[in-house]
């Protein structure tokens, strides 16, 4: 038997509770893992609270991330004792996820736990940090360099934003962090932000072309925020978009793209192929100061994850939430 969060749905609606499950209940897969740590992401918050129809099969164990140790494998790449990380692939949506003490899944979805990190540190990074690394890599691959000007990070106190600020600052960029939490300015500056903006400057309708400010942007917010960020990006600059915290809409014009040569790059972390995943984790292991993880992350027990998901959806969480599934 093992402990897990279990989401189910009946005539009265969705319920989420801590449950004791039998290993025989685990879904099919060629690798079994003892999970050490998981984490709460925005998508996990949506799933656990039922705020959005993220879960597509019931019952479901949520959790789009985990780090742990392989206990059994018929997959050619993995053997008992290997330390592994899982991010995305529909886990926690269509396949049982990481907010549990055990998991069984397709070994193709796993990557090695970098030697630079413990399992807890890997989950302090989680999908949010891995996505931030994909965004930073996209900017660098597209030619954005520190001497070209400031880089904007929106949703900066969130998981993606916090890690993006830290990675960009370590890479030598001058980072402007946009947040709605003025009280967290010191937190963002500790991560490496040079300036902190009120997100209200970007959150409302704006002109299609605005004063050029940013050499690059990492946006996890979408909607008017993304539209304004594009309208303020310098000639030839690049915007990496990975989230929709403000909304899925994009109320913008083509003007920044055809008059300033701005590039808008979509960043998907869920179904990203293996090579970009490995590159993103390699960048994190080389460039992310592990001491920053203590600033970014708080730790909770598995039983606390339901309440924490509510806090996350209410915008009351700073940085990352690590879940010790074994307490």
Low-confidence ranges of the chain (pLDDT < 50): none
Architecture of domain 2-113+293-324: Alpha-Beta Complex (3.90)
Residue where the block lists tokens 């996209």: 138
The reported pTM is 0.92
Residue 193: its pLDDT value, please? 97
Burial of 307 (0-12, 13-18, 19+ CB in 10 A): exposed
- At residue 302, φ and ψ (nearest 5 deg) are -55, -40
d(CA 302, CA 6): 11
| Sequence-separated (6 or more) residues with CB below 8 Å from residue 158 | 42, 128, 220, 245, 319
Write out the residue limits of the CATH 3.90.180.10 domain(s) in the chain.
2-113+293-324
Which residue's structure tokens are 């990481």?
Answer: 98
Q: CATH 3.40.50.720 in the chain, residues?
A: 126-266
Q: What is the pLDDT of residue 292?
A: 84
Is residue 173 left, alpha or beta, with left meaning phi > 0 and alpha meaning psi from -120 to 50? beta
Domain spanning 126-266, CATH architecture = 3-Layer(aba) Sandwich (3.40)
- Residue 249's contacts (CB-CB under 8 Å, 6 or more residues apart) are 222, 223
């Amino acid at each position: 038997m093992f402990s897990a969060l279990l989401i189910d749905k009946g005539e009265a609606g969705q319920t989420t509770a801590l449950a004791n499950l039998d290993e025989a209940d685990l879904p099919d897969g060629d690798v079994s893992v003892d999970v050490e740590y998981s984490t709460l992401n925005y998508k996990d918050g949506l799933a656990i609270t039922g705020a959005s129809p993220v879960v597509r099969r019931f019952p479901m164990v949520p959790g789009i991330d985990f780090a742990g140790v392989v206990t059994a494998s018929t997959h050619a790449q993995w053997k008992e004792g290997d330390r592994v990380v899982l991010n995305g692939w529909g886990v926690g949506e269509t396949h049982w996820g990481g907010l549990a003490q055990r998991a069984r899944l397709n070994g193709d979805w796993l990557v090695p736990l970098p030697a630079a990190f413990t399992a807890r540190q890997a989950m302090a990074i989680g999908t949010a940090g891995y996505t931030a690394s994909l965004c930073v890599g996209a900017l660098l691959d597209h030619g954005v360099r520190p001497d070209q000007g400031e880089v904007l990070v929106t949703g900066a106190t969130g998981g993606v934003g916090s890690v993006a600020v830290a990675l960009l600052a370590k890479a030598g960029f001058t980072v402007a962090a946009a947040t709605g939490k003025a009280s967290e300015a010191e937190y963002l500056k500790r991560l490496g932000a040079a300036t902190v903006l009120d997100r209200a400057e970007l959150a409302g309708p704006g002109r299609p072309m605005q004063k050029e400010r940013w050499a690059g942007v990492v946006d996890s917010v979408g909607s008017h925020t993304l539209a304004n960020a594009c309208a303020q990006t310098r000639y030839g600059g690049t915007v990496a978009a990975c989230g929709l915290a403000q909304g899925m809409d994009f109320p913008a014009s083509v003007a920044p793209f055809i008059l300033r040569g701005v590039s808008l790059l979509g960043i998907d972390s869920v179904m990203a192929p293996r090579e970009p995943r490995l590159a993103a984790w390699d960048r994190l292991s080389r460039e992310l100061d592990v001491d920053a993880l203590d600033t970014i992350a708080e730790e909770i027990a598995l039983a606390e994850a339901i309440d924490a998901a509510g806090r996350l959806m209410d915008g009351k969480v700073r940085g990352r939430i690590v879940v010790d599934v074994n307490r």
